[in-house]
A and B are shown apart, each in its own frame.
Chain A
Amino acid sequence: MRTFLRFFASRAGRAIVALWLVSTVVFVVMRLSGDPTPLLLPPDAPQREILRLRAELGLDRPLPVQYAVFLGNLARGDFGQSIRFKGSAMAVVTERLPATFELGLVSFAVAVIVAIPAGLLAAVYRNRLIDHLAMGVALVGQAAPTFFIGILFILLISVKAGLLPTSGRGDWRHLVLPAVTLGLFAMASIARLTRSAMLEVLRADYIRTARAKGLAELLVVVKHTLRNAAIPIITITGLQFGGLLAGAVVTETVFAWPGIGRLAIQSIYNRDYPVVQCVVLLSAALFVVINLAIDAVYGLLDPRIRVR
């Protein structure tokens, strides 16, 4: 356990450095993108109005000073005031988090529940109809851009067939199309990787031995093969969960889903620095936490990793 804790502590230390780097990059990139004041005032506003607003927003101070203030506030969990909404940036973001979590978790669940059995079956019935079918669908899922799939669903399933609402957040019916759209890419990647990881293990000597000693095929597949194929599957699954956040930007925009993905887009267009910083840092933090969790799971699953 001690080695495991040490392993975990070193990973956590790296995570904090990663977050600091991300916060600095966001800070610099947002400032490089230019000044938000021309976007906030009418085009005929005179120069003194611009200067007044810049001072009000603290943008008239030298960049190093702004950076120091930013880091100091960050350490206290203060992301500053949203330029566009005139409220705490954190509050603006946390208001949208439930919607994104709802969408993200449901898509993730859909992806995993469909993908792992599909990949498993495709591996076991390699080169049979079920394999071709599953991998064909997975190929489309990976190749087709999210916005295209989303719009296709809206036009065919909502408008033409009249089955589900076109957009917006409401009851479970509003969730179906965006969740499937968002989950599709992750689903495809997980299914393909599950299949190839399973195939590799299925060729191993110990599987032949297991079969030779007369174990039931189900036991061979689930207990001996899946357990040994788990590491790459868990890795890709964790990464795909992080990827869902990126996908949420497009999916939320297409389906008018009021989550942080849409907020991020709006805030970038409006150069709402504090909100962009908050969204990016929260997403990065989530990504880092997921990676830590995966590392921890590795350690638990495979004792060899702990030692390294």
Chain B
Amino acid sequence: MTVSRRDLLKGAALAGAAAALPGGLVGPAAAQTTQKRELVVAQGGDISSLDPHMSTSSNDIRISFNIFDNLTSRRPDGKLVPALATEWKLQGQQAWAFKLRQGVKWHNGDPLTSADVKFSVDRTYDPAAKTRVSTVLTTIERIETPDATTVVIHTKKPDPLLPARLGFYAGQIVPKKYLESVGPDAFNQKPIGTGPVRFVSWTKDDRVVLDANGDYWGGKPDFDRLIIRALPEMAPRVGALLKGEVDIATQLPPDQGERVKSNPGTIVSGALYGGLYVLAVNSKVKPLDNPLVKQALSIAIDRDVIIKELWRGRGIVPSGPIAKGDNHFDASLPALAYNPKEARELLKKAGYKNEEIVIETTAAYMAGDKPMAEAIQAMWKDAGVNAKVEVFEYSVRAQKNRDKSFKGLWWSDPTSTLRDPDGMMWRLLGPGGPQDYWRHAEWDELGNAARFSVDEKFRGEAYKKMTKIFLEHLPWIPVIQPYEDNGLQKYVEWNPDPLQQLEIRRFNFKFRRA
């Protein structure tokens, strides 16, 4: 989903140049408080669209989740809370009823009604609307609106995760009357939503300007104006933070943390990524079709060293396919182990005959991708694996992803869009999914049953069993669950979001004032 994450380390070379300069880059006097009424945020790229149904990239959702609201909202602490819907409950097995918040108004003063909700959700998968989120809400069969504040959504099969699905991309509610009267192009130029900020202007490749919505149902945000600047290169982005031109700089690479921390006016604030960085495996090619080989590869990776050296400690070692912070994450499972001796024994047992094993990696699309691939290659060579690293361009990776033509292993940073294994391992590794390179009858049966069960206990058991099978067969080799860092001015009180949103609603953002 994150076309923009390449920006994170795109300027790695530039970062090197920056880091090599004499230290002591001192910004403005350490201001612990401010009188500012304008919040300036720097991100790694420009937005591509203001219509929330036309993009899933993180640069875009940082803005669209603030112009618009969803029925439900995923807070930075991971909890799913009421937003435009104040309550929701299951009716039978296959219908969810949502009660809408009273008195919510669009930015043009029109009232929000259930017709807007039905229109928005239907629009996501309407072929004529040509949205980029047409697959997200396809469990829905039909939507009823018995009155202006009630929405009943019928699903094709039981869908325990519908409220969670509606809380992420594709779930933003758009204004039916306004959109229909001005048309999609004009709506994309000048959108209106119900969210905490109103759209003012967008200067492409420069900035988006938004004004605080004084009538917001969740309270007016703690600023009058929000400016989102696109600063693609990391060194200038950090420079703008150190000089005090921006209040929040997103996508801060780990090696820049020290600079930001040592500057008197700024701090680093990170969120544990709601997902994992894994080496995905093409289990159809030899010798990766042999689970013992994959176990050897996994146990030959010294993840602690990778985290310490390449991530400056900003990450944790995963225990399996479920990210920490997700539903059904099993805290009792040990972190994935490192044991080169056992790796050699496993390879021997597998009958490994020095076949070449290829890691395909982008250079700085995903944070740390190439250096991590090279480190792992060295670790595997030490364990007696004939490993090779091949570098490719992001667009080639996208093509191979589409054609399912990876040679061996490749980096993937699966996002847990629903904060549930269904939205991560099952979405990606399930039959027909984008990373379907491995099948296991029992695993498939469990994943399918868990998807369509509204019994959380049953689902929990299913994911436990699936994790066990996963750890034996390793269709992914999980490597790290990193922290995603941001640089902040000390006068900013704000919690970053594990799913790369920019939550600036009143409960999560405040300027510290004198």
Using a CB–CB cutoff of 8 Å, the interface residues on chain A facing chain B are: 33-35, 37-46, 49-50, 52-53, 56, 84-87, 92, 95-96, 147-148, 151-152, 154-156, 158-160, 162, 165-169, 253-256, 258-259, 262-263, 266, 269-271
Contacts and interface: CB of A to CB of B under 8 A. Distances in A.
B130 interface: yes
A42 B1 contact: yes
Given A42-B56, A44-B433, 20 more contacts: A35-B399, A38-B402, A41-B132, A45-B134, A85-B204, A86-B49, A86-B188, A147-B14, A151-B233, A151-B236, A159-B25, A162-B28, A166-B240, A167-B231, A253-B232, A258-B203, A258-B205, A263-B205, A266-B45, A269-B394
A165 B203 CA distance: 18
Given A162-B28, A166-B236, A256 B230 contact: yes
B331 interface: no
A85 B48 contact: yes
Contacts of A167: 231, 236, 239-240
3 residue pairs, one from A and one from B, having the closest CB atoms: A258-B205, A258-B206, A38-B398
B230 A151 contact: no
Interface of B: 1, 3, 6, 14, 17-18, 21, 25-28, 45-46, 48-49, 54, 56, 127, 130, 132-136, 185, 188, 203-207, 229-233, 235-236, 239-240, 242-243, 245, 394-396, 398-399, 401-402, 427-428, 432-434
Contacts of B245: 165-166
Given A43-B434, A44-B434, A147-B14, A254 B188 contact: no
A37 B132 CA distance: 11
Contact of A158 (B46, B185, B232, B239): B239
7 contacts: A42-B132, A44-B427, A92-B204, A158-B243, A159-B243, A262-B205, A266-B205
Nearest to B415: A43
B14 A269 contact: no
A169 B206 contact: yes
A235 B163 CA distance: 66
A38 B403 CA distance: 10
B399 A154 contact: no
Contacts of A259: 205
Contacts of B3: 39, 270
B236 A46 contact: no
A34 B207 contact: no
A155 B398 contact: no
Given A39-B3, A44-B135, A159-B27, A166 B394 contact: no
Given A41-B132, A42-B132, A162-B28, A151 B17 contact: yes
A147 B17 CA distance: 10
B204 A258 contact: yes
A182 B450 CA distance: 58
B233 A254 contact: yes
Contacts, number: 136
Contacts of B205: 96, 256, 258-259, 262-263, 266
A162 to B, nearest CB: 7
A40 B55 CA distance: 8
Contacts of A256: 205-206, 229-233, 236
A38 B6 contact: no
Contact of B428 (A40, A44, A92): A44
Contact of A96 (B204, B231, B232, B233): B204
Contacts of A33: 395
B26 A86 contact: no
A84 B48 contact: yes
B42 to A, nearest CB: 9
A160 B54 CA distance: 41
A34 B401 CA distance: 13
- Identify the interface centre among A49, A154, A263: most chain B CB within 10 Å of its CB: A154
A160 B25 contact: yes
Nearest to A256: B231
B135 A49 contact: yes
Nearest to B207: A168
A168 B26 CA distance: 21
Residue from the set A37, A84, A253 with the largest chain B CB neighbour count within 10 Å: A253
A160 B26 CA distance: 6
A171 to B, nearest CB: 14
Contacts of A263: 204-205
A151 B235 contact: yes
A281 B25 CA distance: 42
Given A44-B434, A160-B25, A86 B185 contact: yes
Contacts of B25: 155, 159-160
Given A39-B3, A155-B21, A258-B206, A168 B229 contact: yes
Q: Which of A45, A52, A168 has the most CB of B within 10 A?
A: A168
In this complex, the member of B28, B433, B434 whose beta carbon has the largest number of chain A beta carbons within 10 angstroms is: B434
Given A159-B242, A166-B245, A269-B394, A154 B235 contact: yes
A241 to B, nearest CB: 23
Nearest to A271: B395
B229 A155 contact: no
A148 B432 CA distance: 46
Nearest to B15: A151
A38 B395 CA distance: 8
Contacts of B427: 44
B253 to A, nearest CB: 15
A49 B45 CA distance: 26
A34 B392 CA distance: 13
B427 to A, nearest CB: 6
Contacts of B136: 42
A43 B2 CA distance: 10
Interface centre among B25, B233, B396 (most CB of A within 10 A): B233
A117 B513 CA distance: 54
Contacts of A86: 49, 54, 185, 188
B396 to A, nearest CB: 7
A152 B245 CA distance: 18
Contacts of A43: 1, 401, 428, 434
Given A38-B401, A44-B427, A159 B239 contact: yes
